Structure 1
Amino acid sequence: MIIIVVTKPYKGVKSFIFCVSGFSLLFNHLLPLTELILH
């Protein structure tokens, strides 16, 4: 992963931001669902 970021910094940063935003979006969708199931 470090090699990819060094060789292609912009692509690495873009993919990293995409992964983080996608994960946070998924988490935001799953959190209310789990709260509904638990309560």
Structure 2
Amino acid sequence: MAELEHLELAIGAAEMEPLPADLLSELDDLADTNFGIS
């Protein structure tokens, strides 16, 4: 099993609101460019 801190972080993340759609779209675009890494 993962360390307790990992479990606590996962639970905390699950309780957060989802990211806004426009931010997710920007992240998708950035990922498509390999995050600007050549």
More RCO (CA 8 Å, sep 6+): 1
Instruction: Give the TM-score of the pair, scaled to structure 1.
Output: 0.37
Instruction: Give the TM-score of the pair, scaled to structure 2.
Output: 0.38
Q: Which has the larger radius of gyration?
A: 1
Identify the structure with the greater helix proportion: 1
